[in-house]
Amino acid sequence: MRSVFPFSAIVGQDELRLALLAAAVDPTLGGVLVLGDRGTGKSTAVRALAALLPAMKVIVGCRYHCDPAMPGQWCEECRARPAKPRPKSAELPVPVVDLPLGATEDRVLGALNLEQALSAGVRAFEPGLLAQANRGFLYVDEVNLLEDHLVDLLIDVAASGVNVVEREGLSVRHPARFVLVGSGNPEEGELRPQLLDRFGLSVEIRTPQDIAQRIQIVRRRDDFERDPAGFVAHWQPQELALRKQILAGRKRLPKVRVDDAALEWSSRLCMRAGTDGLRGELTMVRAARALAAFQGHSKVGRAELLQVAPAALRHRLRRDPLDEGGSALRIERAVAELDAEDAAAGGKRA
Amino acid sequence: MPEAQPTAERTTQQSPEAAAAAAASAAAADALRAQDAWRAAACLAVDPVGLGGAVLRTDLGEVTEAWLAALASPLPPGEGLRRLPPHIDDERLLGGTDLAATLRAGRPVHARGLLEECARGFLVLPMAERAEPQLAARLGAALDQRSVLVAREGQQREFATGFALVALDGGRASDEHCVPRLRERLALHVDLAGLRADAPPALARGELEAARALLPGIQAGDEALQALCATALACGIATLRAPLLALRVARVHAALEGRDAIESGDLEFAARLVLAPRATVDPSAQASEPEPPPPEPPPEQPPDASDQPPEPRDPTEVDKLEDSVQEAAQAMIPKDLLERLAAAELARTRNGTAGRAGANTLAKRRGRPAGVRAGRPGAGTRLNLLATLRSAAPWQRLRGREAGAQAGGHAGGQATRVRVLPDDFRVTWYRQKKQTVTIFAIDASGSSALHRLAEAKGAVELLLAGCYVRRDEVAVIAFRGRQAELVLPPTRSLVRVKRSLAGLPGGGGTPMASALDLAARLMAQVGKRGQTPTLVVLSDGNANVARDGTGGRARAEADAFAAAKQLRTLGARVLLIDTAPRPQAQSQQLAELLSARYLALPQADARRMAEAVRLAG
């Protein structure tokens, strides 16, 4: 097994780390899109997250790793099983499935098992990458190079959480709920708006310009490559602590409160910044809640909202050809305008 | 040789002594370049996996063959060189189905791809400047991950790879370069152009093995890292792969020298071959401003033994090392850096948002596979065997029975293993680049001398003759007087173009804003039809008619700039040709706002203009 660069050894890239951790705490956030220049460590961070995730309980023998505790989300095979004896369960690492370039539709959706069909005449379904990614992460590196027909089916499945296969005489539907993580270089071409909308959070990363930080990054990378096992062992304590924090965050998540003031402020920010649709607002509040849970707070405050606002709204801002400041700046400006408004209103009331 | 020309020109203008000195220093630089080039081959042979490979800037002569031979000669068996044809498809690159074996066995049989066959050793990619983004992305991912996940055509497997890539970059023009995705990942950038093929004795197998044995133990101190990172930053290199690769190159160089620690010579070598070719800034230009002292590492990082606490060192020693490395890099920064950067920027804006990279359309036979559908092979489509077998598979029993019943039993013995009917046929569709529509916006105002207008017409006709061959279209907008008008909607008809251009009148003001607005509308329409627009603006004057058709230079200029900004959001390629006797500041500014390529062609003749437009496309 190849060693993976530890998440806790990543230097800088705070926004990216927070977004990935928020998605780990609340997988229903809708995934993370990571855009950045070459050599910024986009895919390093995503792959590092995989090694960090806590294990999950699955029904033994289920090809879609259904959760024994969630009968409502079971696949047809698990539902068809008699209720007693109760299905055996086991622990599995959370799948982080790569959607490689050049993947073909049959391997993504799943297809007829050719060998069984030809040799035994049995019509059997062979699950694809979407089945493997159920309850885990689906990672698309170079997401803007993904073939159009794969983008289409990805949009559909990511939205519905169900993969429906009607081909080659098969009629199969199975759960395919996954956190979609994409990364790419914005210079390589744009993403379809429909796909863009499937990502809850969108992060832009750059290489740090601080020389000390750059030296540290190169040094750690070099140390890792020269002795992967030793490096990973060295960072194990930090990794375990982080994993614990994710678990604690998941537990706390349902109890984290979002009060009316926070909701109101979010929707005012969205209106002011000019976002399309309601999804931005919703994602922003949920991401802030996940972050609060991760950091051990019982309530969503302004700090959390501010931290997640750029990631939640950046890819949903209406295009403005006359504004060249960039999306982060626009959100910052909207926040400042809201603050000024609030200060004026406070003054009037006093 | 184009590279030698600038030196030659310079020497002719100088005094004989200065010329001799310049020639001597040029000769010394060439000698160093040659020495580095051969050394680079040895380095790559020692650590192919760590360095990822090399980009050879080359004119594909015998020097390239000599370099590849120098690389190959010390390699142990099983690590040879293999050619990677640039048009390779996924089936051959990643692996697919073995057609003959599958039919024989009646079950899918896997065939290995080139990446799996060449698990060790070198892949040589010719014409790397024209490599398709899809191919570059697959190679880049394999180099990054050192393993390849294949999920195609019924197979899902992962295999490890340890290949290195030698990209032959035969680009002639300064904007033609090995694709960035590969440039980024291949450590050594070697310029072979103009070198002679007199290779020094190649590395011996024994030397190679000694260096490989030494490599894991070579220490790199903090000052070495500091020198490389600082130099990379001074050269304006954003990516962190560059200093990391430079560090590895320095390490390999030290191993070749038989040392167990990195010395300044190793770092300088790395700076010349890894950092200098990637420079985006000439550090000598900013050397005057003092560099701020490096800040302490961020305190919030957990204590960590692998980040060794920097030992107290003589700061002047560190500085000296940094200076020598930076000087080494500086000396090798290409002379045409600025020109190349501008060209790269052009390529970026050109390929960016809505440029050629994204402009694809479905086609039957060429391009990248874009899915499988039911249909007959032939008529330019290709049979997808696996999908066909899959669609046939569920019916095998039934068909077997039917066939048995029809033949009355005696055919059973010689029945084919798989019964495929025409309804089962599945064909692969491919994606093809879109058609281009070139839109000419021609300034027909009074400021345009009549003969220039005539030349512009000539250029359009010449281009159209070329376009017709490529099945591209042309549209013409003329602007004069109060507003612009569409003289010729997109067409491929040469006759129509001639007719409409012949009747084109001249004179009046220059309504630039109106022209750009009209062009933007037309470009949006063209885009919606699934074609890729390119705009060519031909003008020699400043805007002097505002959007509402009234005069006034200031308002006309403001309107033109606003229109330019809006047009830029379409992300299409734009070429602005300035036909004024002297280049106009406003035209240049306009070109900048449009992200357009700017070209001053005061003596515009039809042929040169057509040539420029063709190059821009």
pLDDT higher than threshold 70 for residue B558: yes
Helix (H, G, I), strand (E, B) or coil at B138: helix
Contact (CB, 8 A) for A79 and A111 = no
Inside any domain, residue B5: no
| pLDDT in the model for residue B28 | 83
Instruction: Name the residue of chain B whose CA is nearest to A231's CA.
Output: B306
Inside any domain, residue B254: yes
CATH number, domain of B266, equals: 1.10.8.80
Which residue did the predictor score with more confidence, B177 or A68? A68
Residues of A annotated as part of the active site: 279
By the 10 Å C-beta count (0-12 exposed, 13-18 middle, 19+ buried), B72 is classed as middle
Beta carbons of A8 and B302 less than 8 Å apart: yes
Classify strands A110-112 and A96-98 as parallel, antiparallel or unpaired: unpaired
Helices (H), A26-163: 42-52, 76-80, 105-109, 114-120, 129-132, 148-160
* Nearest alpha-carbon partner for B130 in B173, B78, B170: B170
Domain with CATH 1.10.8.80 in chain A: 254-344
pLDDT in tens, B575-608: 888 877 777 888 888 888 888 888 877 766 777 7
Q: Which of residues 548-577 of B touch A (CB under 8 A)?
A: 562, 565-566, 568-569
Percent of chain B at pLDDT exceeding 70: 74
Beta carbons of A39 and B242 less than 8 Å apart: yes
Helices (H), B290-428: 315-332, 337-351, 385-392, 396-406
Confidence of residue B467 (pLDDT cuts 50, 70, 90): low
Segment B242-267 shows an average pLDDT of 93
* pTM summary value: 0.71
Beta carbons of A213 and B144 less than 8 Å apart: no
Domain A254-344: which CATH class?
mainly alpha
Instruction: Read off the amino acid at residue B153.
Output: E
On whether both B602 and B517 belong to a single domain, the answer is: yes
Classify strands B147-152 and B120-125 as parallel, antiparallel or unpaired: unpaired
On whether both B62 and B171 belong to a single domain, the answer is: yes
Inside any domain, residue B345: no
Beta carbons of B247 and A215 less than 8 Å apart: no
Rounded Cα–Cα distance for residues B26 and B9 (Å): 13
Which CATH superfamily does the domain covering A14-53+94-206 fall into?
Answer: P-loop containing nucleotide triphosphate hydrolases (3.40.50.300)
Contact (CB, 8 A) for A140 and A188 = no
Chain B residues whose beta carbon lies within 8 Å of the beta carbon of residue A216: 297-298, 301, 307
Chain B residues whose beta carbon lies within 8 Å of the beta carbon of residue A99: 151
Inside any domain, residue B2: no
Rounded Cα–Cα distance for residues B402 and B576 (Å): 70
Of the candidate ranges A300-309, B147-156, B355-364, B518-527, the one whose mean pLDDT is the lowest:
B355-364
Query: By residue range, what is the domain housing residue B495?
Result: 435-616
Helices (H), B333-384: 337-351
On whether both B520 and B562 belong to a single domain, the answer is: yes
Biggest CA pair distance of chain B: 102
- Low-confidence residues of chain A: pLDDT under 50: 321-324, 349-350
Instruction: Name the residue of chain A whose CA is nearest to B361's CA.
Output: A148
Confidence of residue B337 (pLDDT cuts 50, 70, 90): low
* Nearest alpha-carbon partner for A200 in A165, A158, A167: A158
As for the ipTM of the complex, it is 0.86
**How far apart are the CA of B532 and the nearest CA of chain A, in angstroms?**
14
**What is the number of domains present in chain B?**
4
On whether both B455 and B475 belong to a single domain, the answer is: yes
Q: Which of the residues B51, B152, B267, B398 would you substitute to probe the A interface, choosing the one with the greatest number of A C-beta atoms within 10 Å? A: B152
Inside any domain, residue B307: no
> Is A41's Cβ below 8 Å from some Cβ in B?
yes
pLDDT in tens, B507-526: 788 888 899 999 998 988 88
Segment B3-16 shows an average pLDDT of 49
Chain B residues whose beta carbon lies within 8 Å of the beta carbon of residue A187: 348, 351-352
> Is B373's Cβ below 8 Å from some Cβ in A?
no
> Is A7's Cβ below 8 Å from some Cβ in B?
no
Which residue did the predictor score with more confidence, B172 or A263? A263
**How far apart are the CA of B306 and the nearest CA of chain A, in angstroms?**
7
> Is A210's Cβ below 8 Å from some Cβ in B?
yes
CB neighbours (10 Å) of residue A292? 28
Q: Which of residues 105-164 of A touch B (CB under 8 A)?
A: 105-108, 111-112, 114-115, 117-119, 121, 123, 128-129, 141-142, 145, 147-149
Chain B residues whose beta carbon lies within 8 Å of the beta carbon of residue A225: 50
| pLDDT in the model for residue B349 | 41
| pLDDT in the model for residue B293 | 42
On whether both B407 and B448 belong to a single domain, the answer is: no
**How far apart are the CA of B214 and the nearest CA of chain A, in angstroms?**
13
pLDDT in tens, B275-318: 998 888 777 665 444 444 444 444 444 444 444 444 444 556 66
Highest-scoring range by mean pLDDT, B188-192, B327-331, B363-367, B613-617:
B188-192
Strand partners, A97: A138
- Residue bearing tokens 């792969």: B241
